[in-house]
Each structure stands twice: as C-alpha cells, then as structure tokens.
Amino acid sequence: MDSKTSSHNPTRPLELWGGLECTVNRVRDEYFSQLDRNGHAGRACDIERFASLGIRAIRYPILWERTAPDGLASADWSWPDERLPALRDAGVTPIAGLVHHGSGPRHTSLVEPCFAEKLAEYAGAVAARYPWLEYYTPVNEPCTTARFAGLYGVWYPHGRDDRTFIQALLVQCRAVVLSMRAIRKVNPDAKLVQTDDLGKTYGTPEMAHVADFYNERRWLAWDLLCGMVGPEHRLWNYLLDTGIAPDEFLWFRDNPCPPDIIGVNYYVTSERWLDHRPERYPEHHRGMTDGRPCADIEASRVLATPTAGISPLLSEVWDRYRIPLAVTEAHIDANREDQLRWLLEIWDSARQSRDNGVDVRAVTVWALLGSFDWNSLVTQNRGYYEPGPFDVRSPMPRPTAVAKMMRELSSGAPLSHPVLRGQGWWRRPGRFLCPPIATPAALSSISADGHRLVGTGAAPILVLGATGTLGRAFARVCQKRNLAYRLLSRKEMDIADPDSVERALALHQPWAVINTCGYVRVDDAENEVERCLRENTLGPAILAAACARHGVHLTSFSSDLVFDGSQDRPYVESDPVAPLNVYGRSKADAEAQVLDRNPSALMVRTSAFFGPWDQHNFVTLALDALRRGESFQAASDLTITPTYVPDLVHACLDLAIDRENGIWHLSNGGALTWAELALRAAERAGVDPSRLEARPVASCGFAAARPRYCALHSERGVLLPRLDDALGRYLELRAGDPVELEELLMTAESRQPVASGHRQQEATDVAAVQSGT
C-alpha cells in the first residue's frame, strides 16, 4: 500500500483491499454489533484467511464502543493487541476504523458536542498504543450516518429534521478533525482515509430541483473537511436555515483536515431516480419530498438504459477535490454470480478511471465475512445474512467463489469463472419494477456498457432431468439468474450409458453438470430393483467419473431415506447411513460411488419438496384438497424436514459456483410430520384444516419401509431460510402477487427492494424501512 506521493502514477498497480463489516449501530437502547454476529469478535484465526486473499490493506475496526465503552481508564485493549500485530505480520496494512455507523458509547451521541473531544481522546490513545499505524478512518460515512440517525430517524438519536441531520454531520466531521490532530501528535505521517457513500440522484424535470439538492448534499462531509464550506457554498443558505450558527461551519475553514485518500462507497442502490408520479411505482417506493408526493427508486430498476455505474462518479470526485481515491466498499446483496459480476464491474471501472487520469488507488471488497440484517438497515435482528468472500454460516468461515476471484485479481491472474460472462441483474431486461423510463439524454451519453466478459458464449451448466420437477426448476432459475444452461432429456444424455455421457459433454462443453434425473418411485422400487439401481446408482457413478476426467463440476442429489430413523435428533452429514428400502439403498450406494470416483462432486441430501411451479407436490395437493372441502390424509408418525424448491435450487447453484464438494444437507429445517406440515400450511394459508386426517403410516399401505424419523440438519452450514419464511413466500407466489418478488429479485429470503443494500433517500417511507417491509 503506497500513498507516499499524491501524484497520479498510472503505472502503479491497482491494489485490492478488504473490508470487514463492523457496524455497531444503536436503535433506541439496543446495539447491533456485526463483529459479534459474524463471529470475528472471537475468531483471531480469520487474519490468516484475510491474508490468503492477497489483499494489500484491510479496513479494520478498533471501535470506540467496543474497546472503551466506559472510558479510557477501563479500556480493554486485548482484542486489538492480538489482531493488529497479526495483520502486520501477515503483510496486510490495517486502516483503523474507530466509529462505524455508531453513535459512540452510551454516555454520548452524534449530537452531543462532547462526542468529538471524547473520540479524539480515544484516537490519541489508539495512536499511542499502536504508533506504527499509518492509516485511519476515525468516523465511517459521516454524511450517510447523519442522514440515517438525524434525518430518517432510523438510528439513534432518531432525529427527523434537517437541524439534527446537520448537527450530527458537524459533530462527526469535527470528531474526524480532532481525532487526526490527536493521532498526528503521535505519528505525524498518519493518513486520513475518509469514506462516504457516493451516489447520484436523477429524476423527472419536475423533480430536478430536489435531485440537484441531493447531488450537492452528498459532498457535505468531504467539503467540510476540505475547508470548502462558506458563504459561497451552494448549500450555505440551507445550512443557515437550520438555525445553526455560521461559526460552526466556518470552523472547518479555519481547521481543514483534507483526506489523504477519499474513500468512495458505492452500491447498486446508490444511484436513485425521483419521479413526481408515484402511482407508477410499487407502494413501498412512494413517499414525500419537498412537500410533494413522489417516488424514490433505484435508478437501475427504472431507467431503460442503465447508467454507466461508478466510473463517471469517480471522475466527479476527482474533478472536485483532486485527492487520490479508493473504492472502499464494493458489494452487492445478490446471488453468487452477480456478486462476482459486480466486483468485476467495479474493478474494471476503477481501471478505466485510472486510464482517464483519475488517481484511483484501490478497490475494497466488502464485506469479507458478509453482513447481517442490512435489508432492514440493521434495525431488526432477523438473521438475514449476505455472504461475502467467506460464508460464516458454516462452523468456520467457508471461502466462496468471491474469494477465488479476489486471489486472481490480487495476483494478476486471468479471471477464470465462466459465470462472469453473463450480465448482472442491474443490466438485464428483467430488472424493472415498473414501466421503464427513457434514460435522460444527458445521462444516456455516458451509459455505454464497456465492461469485459459480458455477453454470450459462456460455457453452460448442463441440467439433467428435463421432465422432472427439479430439473425444470433449475432451468427456470438459471434463466432468471442469467446463467447459461442446457436442459437435457434422457434421450440427449443417458447417464447410465458412458458413450451417451461422453457425447453430450463433448457437444456442450459445460463447466458444471447438475444431475436431477433418477428413479423416484419409492414403493415401485421394491419390485423394480434393477431399474432403480441403474438410474440411481450406476448412472450417477458413470457421470461422476466422466465429470472428473473432464474437470467439470458435478452436483447430484440424494435423499433422507438413506437413514433408518433410529435416532431422535436430526441427521447430519457425518451420520452413518442405514437405508430401509431399495430406493434408499440406491441413493446410499450412489453417494459412495460418486464421491469415490469424483471427490470434487457435490452430493446434496434433501427431502419433502414443495414449491410454486408444479401442482403435484405434497403441500400444493393438501391445500387444493382442503380448499375444495375434501378430506386429505397425511402420515402422523413420519418426521421429515420440508424443502422449498426455489430455495434449494438457489443454494445448489451458489454451491456449484463455489465448487463445493462432498455431502451437504439442504432443507428448510423444522422437523415435523407430514400431517403437521399440511396443518401448518393450511393455517398459514387461511384454509380450514378440519378435513385433514392424520393417520399412522401403517395404515397408508406403503410397499417400502419408511424411517419413522429422517429429519435433516447440517453440520456444514445452514444455508436455506426457515420453513415459515419459505411457506410465506410459497403462498405469496401461489396467490399471484403482482410483483412476484421472489422471481424478480431471485433471492433466498423475502425482502423489499426499498431495503436491499444500505442507501436510501428521504422520499422512502421510513416507517416501512423500520418495519422491515
């Protein structure tokens, strides 16, 4: 990491940095700590993981609220004492963050004048303890935090007016100035990396004055620190209208503290569209601004031609300040392939900006361990998780495909993942939430998509099982996720015929195969043993060997019926198999043979499918019968874990993109009997369950023995949402929701676009944000 000179050197390699989501935000009297939730608070071994990515620097927390919540006299330095030297020894430069979307310890807040002096005192203590630290971000995103805490009422102290917003902004910026002053008394060479969100607002001509105001307001934190705010500033009258004395603003002119590096945080939600016709948009995007109704929505969801992304915005920052830049947060809450595509787009934009004379030093991948509950702006502890380069839902953080891409970027190696050839959802035709708006002429002139590796010609995923529910579901989701695929029937590839397998692989040249075909009639298998074993055991084994020879990733499926049901706790991946019937034996044998011939294959055990795309699954049949007033019979003594097909497909695709292997259990949890599942679905759907007949399995006349208990749990990572969440989304789609949120956003949990990511404008209904809708 080199910032010894501020002169632009286009030959200096673009650096890759990492960031650790470490927000400690306060909502009323409750604190939300990302470090506790992602586990890094108690896991020092993460330092080695971070270093393995090839990053040169990391935005790393030495947070005031965590280290000295009751003052410096009782500060506990043991945590940074262990981790900061470990980062230095690993060759990763820490950029020390002292407050991250926080309001400080309980005895202060963003509108308390003493906040600045007390943070400066803490900053000086940090510098004295770690005099070798060179880079600091005393306060992360002061303008954005001030908006959320002082204008929208989302975070403490929950202000909802311009005065509180500006007070919070002034306090934070003053804290930056005083903190850097204290730090530089210890280390005169200390550098300020000042981050904030860099968005831009566009709109209809009727909303132009509001958009212009937002676009000027976004600079306020950097303008204050650079001593650029005075009577000549475009927002001077707005600032004085808050009733705050002019001297409060002019203080920064007398005490400038310009950043050494301006940190630009950019999200797909950062660019907004304002429209004076709110009736055109989903209700949760409607609100009021400047006293009039309007809609506020992500530009990517409405503009017919996408914006050019971050590149023109980097030029705006450079032209305004002529200070070196770094993209200090690059992240999108999306499926895995779009996380890769977003990072590629940001990286290419930074390189393009450098070629255009903008001094961009680095791109920071955010967040290394993912983040929790940003879809509700961290106002509710729902456990909603966005993975990053590492997925912390496993017992130890599991590297995803983003981690491999980071290693390639940091080493200069060619980018290898085939999914990079597809366009991200923010550039695809299906992104719109309303009739698209013609892109304004001034914007369309810079909207050309010049990013590499987009378009056609990508190696496909072969989905086997064209006539089955699961195969068709994979094809549907691949199409929505813009993943190149081919859906093959048995005629096009018979997996039990080695020649057929070789011909199909040679013809289609896939990077991955997803095998959903097989024999599924559990009771008939007792009398069709040879056919069942051919389709469920021999075929997958032949396919696995072929995929191993050609370096093609394989995903295949097994069943909960590999277990005998003798235990009374959910089965995990390492539990021994002991099938009771022919079908279960065929699956257990397939697991062993597939993984023996191809240890890189992924074998997914799952159970009890239900979904919105077929009429023959158990939940759909039960609800349809009960709605008609007919009786419906279900076993009362067979315990299973239901699986929502869209969630299963999304998780399997992510795991395939990550090139995961071995046995994984994937279900929506919630061990219950078939009868209990029907009852829960009926209650959620508002259907009279009185005709539901719970019967023992012995009266059902099954030819094949069933385990009485075959609930699944995972010791490798619980990736699917909870059953109640899945049932809610299933019923929403079955009811014909006009937005069809799940298919539109293609996400694993229900979320509204208004809260996807962590950037919003005043026109958004804050009450909706706080309720998580």
Spatial separation of the C-alpha atoms in residues 35 and 43, rounded to whole Å: 10
Q: Supply the DSSP symbol for 100.
A: E
Question: For residue 2, what pLDDT is reported?
Answer: 58
Spatial separation of the C-alpha atoms in residues 77 and 524, rounded to whole Å: 66
Are the CB atoms for 331 and 367 separated by under 8 Å? yes
SS3 575: coil
Pair type for strands 292-298 and 286-289: antiparallel
Those residues whose C-beta lies under 8 Å from the C-beta of residue 571, and which sit 6 or more positions away, are: 560, 563, 665, 710, 711, 712, 713
- For 538-601, the three-class secondary structure string (H helix, E strand, C coil) is HHHHHHHHHHHHHCCEEEEEEEHHHCCCCCCCCECCCCCCCCCCHHHHHHHHHHHHHHHHCCCC
Spatial separation of the C-alpha atoms in residues 187 and 132, rounded to whole Å: 8
Question: For residue 437, what pLDDT is reported?
Answer: 87
Question: Quick check: do 15-269+307-415 and 461-749 share a fold?
Answer: no
Spatial separation of the C-alpha atoms in residues 638 and 623, rounded to whole Å: 19
Question: For residue 83, what pLDDT is reported?
Answer: 97
**CATH annotation of 461-749:** 3.40.50.720
Q: Cα torsion for 300, 303, 309, 314, to the nearest 10°?
A: -120
Question: For residue 444, what pLDDT is reported?
Answer: 52
Question: For residue 458, what pLDDT is reported?
Answer: 83
Cβ burial of 85 (10 Å; 0-12, 13-18, 19+) is middle
> How many residues belong to the chain?
773
The series of mean pLDDT values per 10 residues for the chain, 773 residues long, is 56 92 92 94 96 98 96 96 97 98 93 96 98 98 97 95 98 98 98 96 95 97 98 98 97 98 96 94 89 93 93 97 98 96 97 96 97 92 94 97 97 95 92 85 49 58 95 96 95 96 97 96 95 97 98 98 95 97 97 98 96 92 95 95 97 98 96 96 95 92 93 96 94 71 41 35 34 26
Q: Supply the DSSP symbol for 261.
A: E
Question: For residue 9, what pLDDT is reported?
Answer: 66
Domain boundaries of the chain, sorted by first residue = 15-269+307-415, 461-749
Question: For residue 695, what pLDDT is reported?
Answer: 93
Spatial separation of the C-alpha atoms in residues 231 and 202, rounded to whole Å: 27
Fold of 15-269+307-415: TIM Barrel (3.20.20)
Are the CB atoms for 666 and 596 separated by under 8 Å? no
Measuring CA to CA, which residue among 9, 19, 121, 16 is closest to residue 68?
121
**Residue 708 CB-half CA count within 13 A:** 7
Written as six digits, the tokens of 649 are 């497909």
Secondary element (H or E) of residue 441: helix 441-444
Give me the residues paired with residue 272 across strands: 201, 298
